Structure 1
Amino acid sequence: MGWGRSHLRDRYVLIYKEQLLITYSPSEIGYCHGRLNIYSCPKALIKHLEAGLERELNERVNINWQSQVLKPGSYRGQMSYSSAIGSGAKIVNALKSWSYLIFELSEFSSSEGSIYFYTKELGLYRGSINSQGQIVVSEDMLKSAITQNLSQSDLTIALEKLMGRPWDDVLEPFRRVEIEAASSLADRLSV
């Protein structure tokens, strides 16, 4: 996937596909640090979604909503958080009840984390990720896929599903919109 971490002046920096996601200091280790990208949310749900996030995080959230060009009439926004370990699962649980959302959440503790993808068509995907942001598939999950006596093409599909590939394929155009928007903003600021 394209995740990475680097050290910058007593702070760790989490980067995904050349986009800064989170910075945190060693003193904050023990908490989890997360990033929520909401790629599509109907306008009518925005206030309800924000209230749900505030309830789960027990703090005020500030999301800069912008129109989503890939789904006219919907909005996109993102936020970072630092909270108790397991906050991401609670957030995802609250958000997945609104089937009209498309979102991605990544959460890291000291050296590993979780990633969640959600679309109405595919449902929820949860994967474990290592410190480099790569999805880690357990031995048991691999054994389960291999022992199903699948054809080569069906085994490939099963393994890709374990790694979140169908969700990645759906979310990638939305990620590109975010990257292009950030790049456009950087270009305007550098002039």
Structure 2
Amino acid sequence: MHALNQFAEGTNGVLHVHSSPAAVCPHVEWALTATLDCRANLKWSSQPASPGLLRATSNWTGPVGTGARLVNALRPWPMLRFEVTEDASEGVDGERFSHVPGLGLWHGSMSANGDVILGEMRLRAIIAAHRDTGDLASELDVALGSDWDTELEPYRSGGEGAEVTWLHRDVG
């Protein structure tokens, strides 16, 4: 995988594990360590929105596409609530991935200020598919990740003692 990114620009982003059972936390760290080729010692704290679950946040740096690789590494644990963002870099849009148990994974392009971007072709496809059904607003909500935002909002508050960890993977 490293050879595929030898000419890619570096980027950074944020991983938010909004809720995880304590027993899964070491597995999350092992998966991140394997993905980023660096030790992931996350600082876990209690999640006020779900007593008994833990949360952690980590800023990361790495080659373009690292956000998707982090998401892929976390998918084996469907009970996790998490978000991964990857900032835009030269010629590449930013991305946001959100995972919620019961809803699954949502992915969208992201502007520099964090707004979800819907491209022209995606909008045209949504309009064409829902022109006569009256479901256009509902389908746009899905495309914008509204259900994921609604579900994750109570988990996004840092709460007392929430810390951020930096993870770094070499680019090039």
TM-score normalised to structure 2 length: 0.82
Question: What is the DSSP-based 3-state SS (H/G/I as helix, E as strand, rest coil) of the residue aligned with 2:29?
Answer: helix
The within-5 A match list for 1:140-159 is 140-148=121-129, 149-152=131-134, 154-159=135-140
How far apart, in 2, do the equivalents of 1:57 and 1:81 lie?
Answer: 9
The answer to whether the Cα contact below 8 Å between 2:13 and 2:60 also exists between their aligned partners in 1 is: yes
TM-score normalised to structure 1 length: 0.74
The match for 1:13 is none
Question: Where does structure 2 lack aligned partners over 5 or more consecutive residues?
Answer: 1-7, 164-172
The match for 1:94 is 73
The within-5 A match list for 1:92-131 is 92-110=71-89, 112-131=93-112
Q: Residues 7-60 of structure 1: CA distance to partner in whole angstroms, max 9, x if unpaired?
A: xxxxxxxxxxxxxxxxxxxxxx92110100001001111111101000000011
- How far 1:95 sits from its partner (Å)? 0.5
Q: How many residues align?
A: 153
Question: What is the DSSP-based 3-state SS (H/G/I as helix, E as strand, rest coil) of the residue aligned with 1:62?
Answer: coil
Question: What is the DSSP-based 3-state SS (H/G/I as helix, E as strand, rest coil) of the residue aligned with 1:88?
Answer: helix
User: Aligned in 2, Cα 1:157/1:77: closer, same or farther, shift over 3 Å?
Assistant: same
The answer to whether the Cα contact below 8 Å between 1:62 and 1:79 also exists between their aligned partners in 2 is: no
User: Aligned in 2, Cα 1:150/1:65: closer, same or farther, shift over 3 Å?
Assistant: farther
How far apart, in 2, do the equivalents of 1:81 and 1:109 lie?
Answer: 14
- The alignment-based identity, stated in percent, is 33
Q: Following superposition, which runs of at least 4 residues in structure 1 exceed 2 angstroms of deviation?
A: 109-112, 149-152
Question: Where does structure 1 lack aligned partners over 5 or more consecutive residues?
Answer: 1-28, 186-191
Instruction: Decide which structure has greater strand share.
Output: 1
1:163 aligned onto 2:144:
yes
Q: CA RMSD in A?
A: 2.0
1:36 aligned onto 2:19:
no
Kindly indicate whether structure 1 or structure 2 has the higher relative contact order, using CA contacts under 8 Å at least 6 residues apart.
2
User: Aligned in 2, Cα 1:146/1:74: closer, same or farther, shift over 3 Å?
Assistant: same
